[in-house]
């Protein structure tokens, strides 16, 4: 019997001639946690989809040995029955169904005679919510009532409810706060003790370092190396990933900052499901010309709602008074916002950022198609020229601009969405979690681009849950907590502690 729980050998997967995986090996021992690292588009998610039979046996080459025997699964159900459970990078929940229904989907507890045992399912779902430190979640309510971080944890609860011998986590923490992440990392540690193995994919190398025993790095569909975590530090992982050394993760550049250019006054957003609750409560902000304003705070603090109100797309009742270049402007829809010179790169790319089945190129030019119209006809070659320029500028990795954007790796989709929102030549650009799911190399490119843009006089609002990023890039930092403004700092030696203390400030005072 082999010492390995999983032994993948020589996996090759191509998508109509493009080799996403070119002969990859991956081995996992029982109870071992393997960190799978690599740049956007390296093939990490594809490898895990091969393993879990999202791509059935026969649609790829190579062999998978599971507990010593060859696995030739045709369906996800078969791999799940074998004990391989995957949490996908993009959420797979059905928003209209309840939390409990989502957790038990395809896995329902039934009474004799086939009747659903809702009582048992609710009880188990509630236990899982407690385990994940979310006792306030009402498991009978539809999932869409909960924000990104909670949804991610619900997805994790769904996986925990299955009997996993190997748990695959594809960027599980991308929408989690620090404390939510800590809960998840602890759960992984507990599972390891029980002998459950993990493969964890993450661009956050400190998390990989915290729980993984082994690191496996892939680049362009080939295996670069596998090493014990104890022998590596994050710099070495980065060098293995990108094939070169990146010394300074935050390439801060000097740039002149002008007068106040944009102002949003008295932004208030009322909760969609609870009229008594304000998601954003009378927040005002000022943005100077050429400034990068970071907005920090815990997930759920109201930052995304704030951005939506400015962009004219908050789904509920709201108010916002906007001033641009000294004049009051009226924005009632994203179209108005774009016309006035305000663009938003949204947090939830899958829901608001892309049209999944359309081409990469069509997605990029979507907001500015009229630019290419002559007498009502689109000048296709001018459009294609623009698309190619955008793709090159952001180094979007795609075999062709006509490929459906859905086929791109997560990080490359994000780069395409940023490209799309630069085309209308905004004066104010709002980036909501711009580097989520983006690899270190591409993060660096996005930061460089941000500095290039502010040097040209653009003003940027960057919402980010990554404190090192907020502190590494912003000129000024606003802290939002429970819908209110809790801090406004010039970023001159600002520390993580100062920002966190401000974010938690209100509740600390309450506790006192």
Ligand X SMILES: Nc1ncnc2c1ncn2[C@@H]1O[C@H](COP(=O)(O)OP(=O)(O)OP(=O)(O)O)[C@@H](O)[C@H]1O
- Residues near ligand X (CB under 6 A) are 15, 20, 38, 40-46, 89, 397, 407-412, 437, 439
Contact 459, 290 (CB under 8 A): yes
Nearer to ligand X, 389 or 402 (CB): 402
Residue given tokens 């009474």 in the structure block: 111
- The closest residue (CB) to Mg ion is 45
Select the binding partner of residue 464 from Mg ion, ligand X, none (C-beta < 5 to 8 A, by kind).
none
| Least Cβ distance, residue 172 to Mg ion (angstroms) | 12
For residues 90, 91, 94, 95, the Cα torsion angle rounded to the nearest 10 degrees is: -110
- Would you call 273 helix, strand, or coil by DSSP? coil
| Least Cβ distance, residue 274 to ligand X (angstroms) | 35
Select the binding partner of residue 288 from Mg ion, ligand X, none (C-beta < 5 to 8 A, by kind).
none
Nearest alpha-carbon partner for 349 in 493, 504, 475, 171: 171
CA distance 345 to 68: 47
Nearer to Mg ion, 45 or 386 (CB): 45
Residue given tokens 């040209």 in the structure block: 456
Nearer to ligand X, 15 or 250 (CB): 15
Beta bridge partners of 219: 222
Nearer to ligand X, 41 or 346 (CB): 41
Tokens of 231: 């022998």
Nearer to Mg ion, 172 or 410 (CB): 410
- Point out which residues bind Mg ion (CB under 5 A): 45, 89, 410
| Least Cβ distance, residue 73 to ligand X (angstroms) | 18
Query: N- to C-terminal Cα distance for the chain?
Result: 59
Nearer to ligand X, 45 or 296 (CB): 45
Residues 6+ apart with CB under 8 A from 259: 288, 289
Nearer to ligand X, 393 or 406 (CB): 406
For the residues of 132-184, what is the DSSP string, one character each? TT-TT--TTSBGGGS-HHHHHHHHHHHHHTS--SEEEEESTTTT--HHHHHHH
| Least Cβ distance, residue 404 to Mg ion (angstroms) | 16
CA distance 146 to 374: 45
Select the binding partner of residue 411 from ligand X, Mg ion, none (C-beta < 5 to 8 A, by kind).
ligand X
| Least Cβ distance, residue 32 to ligand X (angstroms) | 21
Q: 263 phi and psi, to 5 degrees?
A: -135, 135
| Least Cβ distance, residue 166 to Mg ion (angstroms) | 18
Select the binding partner of residue 46 from Mg ion, ligand X, none (C-beta < 5 to 8 A, by kind).
ligand X
Residue given tokens 């608001």 in the structure block: 352
Nearer to ligand X, 37 or 502 (CB): 37
Contact 420, 367 (CB under 8 A): yes
Task: Tell me how many degrees the CA angle 427-431-437 measures, rounded to the nearest 5.
Answer: 150
Select the binding partner of residue 20 from ligand X, Mg ion, none (C-beta < 5 to 8 A, by kind).
ligand X
| Least Cβ distance, residue 16 to ligand X (angstroms) | 7
Tokens of 15: 């998508």
Nearer to Mg ion, 156 or 267 (CB): 156
Select the binding partner of residue 346 from Mg ion, ligand X, none (C-beta < 5 to 8 A, by kind).
none
| Least Cβ distance, residue 224 to ligand X (angstroms) | 13
Select the binding partner of residue 433 from Mg ion, ligand X, none (C-beta < 5 to 8 A, by kind).
none
Select the binding partner of residue 407 from ligand X, Mg ion, none (C-beta < 5 to 8 A, by kind).
ligand X
Select the binding partner of residue 481 from Mg ion, ligand X, none (C-beta < 5 to 8 A, by kind).
none
DSSP state of 351: I
Nearer to Mg ion, 205 or 453 (CB): 205
In three state form, how does the secondary structure of 317-345 look? CEEEEEEECCEEECCCCHHHHHHHCEEEE
| Least Cβ distance, residue 409 to ligand X (angstroms) | 3
Nearer to ligand X, 20 or 211 (CB): 20
Select the binding partner of residue 202 from Mg ion, ligand X, none (C-beta < 5 to 8 A, by kind).
none
Select the binding partner of residue 38 from ligand X, Mg ion, none (C-beta < 5 to 8 A, by kind).
ligand X
Helical pair 148-160 and 118-131, crossing angle rounded to 10 deg = 110
| Least Cβ distance, residue 89 to ligand X (angstroms) | 6
How distant, in Å, are the alpha carbons of 264, 267, 308 from that of 312? 12, 11, 6
| Least Cβ distance, residue 21 to ligand X (angstroms) | 8
Nearer to Mg ion, 35 or 300 (CB): 35
Rg, C-alpha atoms of the chain: 23
CA distance 206 to 192: 18
DSSP state of 349: I
Beta bridge partners of 459: 428
% helix, strand, coil for the chain, step of 5: 35, 25, 35
Q: Give residue 305's region: left, alpha or beta (phi > 0; psi -120 to 50).
A: alpha
Select the binding partner of residue 158 from Mg ion, ligand X, none (C-beta < 5 to 8 A, by kind).
none
| Least Cβ distance, residue 493 to Mg ion (angstroms) | 36
């Amino acid at each position: 019997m082999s010492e390995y729980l999983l032994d993948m050998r020589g996996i090759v997967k191509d998508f109509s001639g493009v080799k996403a995986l070119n002969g990859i090996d991956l081995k996992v021992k029982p109870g071992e946690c393997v960190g799978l690292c690599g740049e956007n588009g390296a093939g990490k998610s594809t490898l895990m989809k091969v393993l879990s039979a999202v791509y059935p046996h026969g649609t790829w080459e190579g062999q998978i040995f599971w507990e010593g025997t060859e696995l030739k699964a045709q369906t996800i159900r078969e791999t799940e029955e074998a004990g391989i459970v995957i949490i996908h990078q993009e959420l797979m929940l059905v928003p209209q169904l309840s939390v409990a229904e989502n957790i038990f989907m395809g896995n329902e507890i039934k009474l004799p005679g086939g009747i659903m045992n809702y009582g048992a399912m609710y009880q188990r779902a509630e236990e899982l919510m407690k385990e994940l430190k979310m006792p306030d979640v009402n498991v009978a309510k539809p999932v869409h009532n909960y924000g990104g971080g909670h949804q991610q944890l619900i997805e994790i609860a769904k996986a925990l409810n299955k009997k996993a011998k190997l748990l695959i986590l594809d960027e599980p923490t991308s929408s989690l706060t620090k404390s939510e992440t800590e809960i998840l990392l602890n759960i992984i540690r507990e599972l390891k003790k029980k002998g459950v193995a993990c493969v964890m994919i993450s661009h956050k190398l400190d998390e990989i370092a915290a729980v993984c025993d082994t690191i496996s790095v892939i680049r362009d569909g080939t295996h670069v190396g596998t090493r014990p975590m104890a022998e590596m530090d994050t710099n070495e992982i980065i060098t293995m990933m990108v094939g070169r050394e990146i010394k300074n993760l935050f390439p801060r550049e000097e740039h002149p900052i002008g007068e106040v250019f944009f102002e949003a006054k008295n932004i208030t957003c009322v909760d969609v499901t609870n009229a008594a609750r304000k998601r954003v409560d009378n927040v005002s902000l000022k943005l100077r010309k050429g400034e990068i304003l970071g907005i920090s705070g815990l997930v759920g603090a109201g930052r995304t709602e704030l951005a939506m109100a400015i962009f004219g797309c908050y789904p509920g009742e709201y108010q916002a008074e906007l001033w641009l270049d000294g004049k009051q402007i009226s924005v009632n829809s994203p179209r108005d916002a774009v016309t006035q010179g305000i663009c938003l790169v949204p947090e939830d790319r899958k829901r608001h950022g892309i049209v999944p089945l359309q081409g990469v190129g069509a997605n990029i030019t979507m907001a500015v198609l009229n630019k290419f119209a002559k007498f009502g006809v689109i000048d296709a070659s001018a459009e294609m020229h623009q698309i190619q320029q955008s793709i090159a500028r952001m180094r979007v990795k795609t075999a062709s601009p006509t490929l459906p954007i859905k086929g791109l790796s997560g990080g490359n989709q994000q780069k395409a969405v940023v490209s799309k929102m630069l085309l209308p030549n905004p004066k104010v650009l709002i980036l909501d979690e711009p580097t989520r799911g983006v690899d270190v190399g591409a993060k660096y490119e996005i930061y460089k681009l941000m500095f290039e843009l502010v040097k040209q006089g653009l003003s940027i609002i960057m919402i980010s849950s990554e404190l090192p990023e907020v502190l590494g890039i912003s000129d000024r930092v606003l802290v939002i907590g429970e819908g209110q403004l809790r801090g406004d700092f010039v970023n001159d030696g600002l520390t993580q502690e100062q920002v966190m203390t401000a974010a938690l400030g209100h509740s600390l005072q309450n506790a006192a």
